[in-house]
Structures are given as C-alpha cells and as structure tokens.
Structure 1
C-alpha cells in the first residue's frame, strides 16, 4: 500500500510554500492520502486533518504534530513525514532513508556557524543519548527531505526521546532503528542570492528564498498550475 503523507503546518493562512509543496506532491510523490497536522489553511481541500493546537514553541509544536499524527487512527501505519517547505522536483517511486553524514561532523559544521542555541543543544543531547544507547558513530538524519516513519517504531523512539529536553527526532529514529541510507547534501537553500542544485529530486527553502530567491522562482515555474489540494482562494 502506498504510504500517507503527513505535513505539520504552523498557524497562519498565508503559506505559499505549502501550496507549492502540495502541487509537487500531487505531481511527483505516489501516496494514498495527504494529512495536515496542526493548522489547516482555508484554501486547502481534499486532505485529512490531524487537529493539534499550536500553542508552544516552533520546536515543541513540530514534535507534538508528529505525535498527533502517529496517534491518529486513520493515518497509515507507515507514513512519510514532510515539512511544508519540501518540494519534490522529480518523480520518485519511493523515499529511501537519507542522511547527511556522521553526527559528529555535522556538529562541527554547526559549531563554525553558531556557538549556542536550542538546535545545537539538542544535537549534543541527542548525540549523548545515542552514546548511552550504545550507538557508535551515529548518523545525522536532520535533512530537509521526507522520512518514512512507522507508527509503532516511532512510539518506541518517542519514549526514549523524552529523556532529553530537545531531541532531534529524525536522528534518533534513524539511528535507533539502524536505517542507514544514502548520504546527501541538505537541499535547503538558505540565502536569496544562492543558486540551487539543479536536477535533484528534492529542494527546500526559507520564506525569503522562496518568495524572492532564484530557487523560489524555479519552483513556481515548475508547478504553475493549481493542484488537487487547493481551492482558487489565496
């Protein structure tokens, strides 16, 4: 059976990235049902809704949305977790495990950019937890691409993740279940003047790079027509 797709969505009805993410899914990603966890804008149609109040921090809301999807009886046992700024640029028959390399190398990369913050703290907490679990040389799965989750497996990881304050859910899940996978560069385009990888299956954006960057213009050119998951309302 084709997996469902779950997209956690923040509060706010203006979400052009979500509109184009849905167009890309309809065009390029085989699936059974699309679900939105959290806030569903009024212009979205023909998707399932996993209600979940968005009352905490961005980080906490995201994790809560994952758990709400796992707990929802109608979401398929295996589902693809997306973000609302993931764009499938080519047809994919399946989404295999993907990682960005050794977690220790990713931490060193972030240390060159930032010395503190919740994200880096969570990375270190996650690395320490995996070490306690006996995982040697863990991989980082914190990529801006979809990940296939299994409900029962995720619930086991959820319990483990509650031992720390800021768990990196993707990295915990991938290492706990020894997913392995293919190493790729993160397809997130961070700055407006940046180019973007051409010919790749996945792209991801920031609000600035989507609305005013080269990559956003490319995505809009690729999916110019409304898809089945949107009304004409803007």
Structure 2
C-alpha cells in the first residue's frame, strides 16, 4: 500500500490545526507514497504536491472539482487514498481497509430525524441515482475515514452524478464499482465530552470538538511531534 498516493482536498483555512494533526497521524499510521493537496495549500505545509483549484461553488461542488482534478492528473497513482483534513488514523495500519456505513436507507433515516438541507437532499438524490442503476438497496460509504479510490472508478461515479447538486461521491463510487467492504459506525465526534469510542483505529472531529473537547486533547497528546510536512515546527 505504500505505492498509493494520498489525496486531500482542502478549502481555504490558513491555520487548520486539524490538518496539522491529521498529517501527523497519517505519517505515523497510514502507509502512503506522495501526499497531494488539491485546492488551497497552507503556507506552513511543505513536502507535498499541489493541484490548485478554483473554489467558487458550494463546498460540495468544490470537492467534486478537486476529485475530478485528482483523477485526471497523470502523476497521481491509479489507485489512491482519499482523505479529508478531519480524519485521524490512531493505530498503525498495514493497508487501509474498505469500510462502509451500512444501507443508505438507514443512514438517511438517521439524518432525516435530526436535520434537513443540502446534505440530506444529496443523499436521497444519490440513492435514487443508484437505484436507477440497478442497486436496489445501496450501501453508504459516507464515513469520516480514508477511502481507497481508483481513478477510473471515481470518474465513472462523477460522470454518472454530474447532474446532481450534491453528489455523495464516496457512496456513488463505492456502489457503482461494487467495492464491498466491512461495516462500521461513523467515527465523527461532535461533542466536547469524554464519551467516545477510544478503541477505534479511526477518529474524526468537528472544529469545536477538536479545539475544545476531550477527543481533541487525546489526538493532540497522541501526535505531539510535528511531521516532516510542517515547515514551521510547533
């Protein structure tokens, strides 16, 4: 797995302390080759490869642009690891497993009971797209963990969902390419409190839970040493 590049789309956020500690966790625990930043590159970040992209749409549209740019770039490995800046790998891995969240219908019910908006609309539209493609009960891959992605497979998903306002790219990719995988609960910690699963090899945070919560303290303690990707050591 060390021959796989690691691709991370980034919005403009100069400090981005979550990214700093995510990088430390990936260097320690997630085997990869080159690190590619797609979008905005913070000034403190070094030793990476960079694809600048225009970020003039919604966050969903911007990440779709970033994903297409990565898949069309000739120097990125044909299969790569797709991660975001709020994903932390807490234990050493030999290779990144393929993980899913269970049926979309169950994830949809969870979100529908708590909120509405573009994300839920996109989930439903992506589900309908996949049902139309012959997948009667599609799985959700919308987890806050890295995902192994093939360029050709992701471009197939992006093309299939290009008419959607909010395409759930991970789910479309996973289902259309029938990647299978193991089911886990999502690892995102939304709160500041001490109650979260500390046995999981993966964690993810919100800006507030990272800066002010117990989960953030645990991550910062675990990865106190700067990585080689940090130009300003702190």
Q: Any residues of structure 2 matched to 1:95-134 within 5 Å, and which?
A: 95-114=96-115, 116-134=116-134
Task: Give 1:92's aligned residue.
Answer: 93
Alpha-carbon distance in structure 2 between the residues aligned to 1:147 and 1:194: 27
Structure 2 partner of 1:26: 27
Q: Partner residue of 2:198?
A: 198
**Equivalent position of 2:71 in the other structure:** 70
Q: CA RMSD in A?
A: 1.2
Structure 2 length-normalised TM: 0.96
Q: How far 1:56 sits from its partner (Å)?
A: 1.6
Contact 2:8 2:38 in 1 (8 A): yes
Segments of 4+ moved more than 3 angstroms: none
CA separation in 2, counterparts of 1:157 and 1:59? 15
Give unpaired runs (5+ residues) of structure 2: none
Q: TM-score, normalised by structure 1?
A: 0.96
> Which structure 1 residue ranges, 5 or more long, are not aligned?
none
SS at match of 1:8: strand
C-alpha distance in 1, partners of 2:167/2:42?
A: 28
**Matched residue, 1:170:** 170
Task: Provide the residue aligned with 1:152 in structure 2.
Answer: 152
Aligned residues: 233
Superimposed CA distance per residue, residues 193-215 of structure 1 (whole angstroms, 9 cap, x where no aligned partner): 25221121110000000000000
Q: Residues of 1 paired with 2:94 and 2:195: CA distance? A: 27
Moved more, 162-171 or 201-210: 162-171
Q: How many angstroms apart in 2 are the aligned matches of 1:225 and 1:164?
A: 42
